[in-house]
Homo-oligomer: A and B are copies of this chain.
């Protein structure tokens, strides 16, 4: 591709107006949602000129005077988490339906990156924010919220915030998992999670696991770790769990707190030649490949695409709430059990 020194710059409203023989205000009306206020003849002249000149509105100029950036910020803790991908897809589709653009920022679970991204989104004057990020509200987030930027928390709650939340019902998810594992005959469980301090949903799941063990006549233990540098520790924890002689007559199962953990645990079990089902394995969140591993891995699926959509819808409703009378909502979706062979014990 050769860059030509005589590149025609992007046409402006003034140029279209001059070409069509009308005022710039009429052209602005044509493109700005007031087309019906113009005579048919004028509309046609404007359309012809705009097309001839290849006019495209400058959203930055519009945003400056009109006050609308048409941008929605989405701050994600980990875009490579399978959960994030589907949520983003749903959110992006919902934005598009409203003529909005989604700006996705990835924090890799780092609060410093989160602050940077929030500052950047502020500089673009985003019209709303979807937050799926670290556990503590930053000053940057507070400033945005204080200034009235609509905010929806995605799969998170923040302790100092009474904000709209769209998420999986974590308690129901853990209850359903424990029910299933108990029904399938497992009695001693290991719950594996990424660091709970990074996300309230992880904390809620972990707490619920502990709380509900006795109710389900189950015993259990937990391990939390950072998958970036603690894979060895996971291996050891699983080995210890499987070798635990004090529970040698209790059928054992491992419950994984999210998709990233399910993958890591499955790797460890397969590498150690563990027969799935004999040792139960279940993961929170569906994974497209879960049915392929051994006898199939049992999962509790969240409706992720739907959650992404709901987050945008909730945000747009919050944006319409000019006088602040709409109470905060927690929209919690139930998980759906996909029972597969990894939670079927063999008679022997």
* Interface residues, chain A, with chain B CB atoms under 8 Å away: 1-5, 7-10, 54, 56-61, 63-64, 69, 79-80, 85-86, 88-89, 92-93, 96, 101-106, 113, 116, 119-120, 122-125, 143, 145-148, 151, 161-164, 263, 266-267, 270, 287-289, 291-293, 321-324, 328
Contact = CB atoms under 8 A, between A and B. Distances in A.
Contacts of A104: 92, 102, 104
A185 B150 CA distance: 61
Nearest to A120: B101
Interface centre among A54, A56, A162, A163 (most CB of B within 10 A): A56
B291 A292 contact: no
Given A124-B59, A292-B289, A293-B293, A7 B146 contact: yes
Contacts of A60: 59-61, 63-64, 69, 124-125
Contacts of A58: 64, 123, 125
Given A58-B123, A147-B10, A324 B292 contact: no
For the complex of A and B, the 6 pairs showing the least CB-CB separation, nearest first, are A3-B324, A59-B123, A60-B60, A289-B289, A60-B63, A7-B148
A88 to B, nearest CB: 7
Contacts of A289: 263, 266, 287, 289, 292-293
Given A270-B292, A292-B270, A1 B57 contact: no
Nearest to A8: B147
Contact of A324 (B4, B291, B328): B4
Contacts of A266: 289, 292
16 contacts: A1-B151, A1-B161, A3-B323, A56-B123, A58-B64, A59-B123, A60-B69, A79-B85, A79-B88, A80-B85, A101-B124, A102-B104, A103-B103, A263-B289, A270-B292, A289-B292
A99 to B, nearest CB: 8
Contacts of A56: 119, 122-123
Contacts of A96: 113, 116
Given A9-B147, A263-B288, A289-B292, 14 more contacts: A3-B321, A3-B322, A7-B148, A56-B123, A57-B123, A58-B125, A59-B123, A60-B69, A60-B125, A96-B116, A101-B124, A266-B292, A289-B289, A292-B292
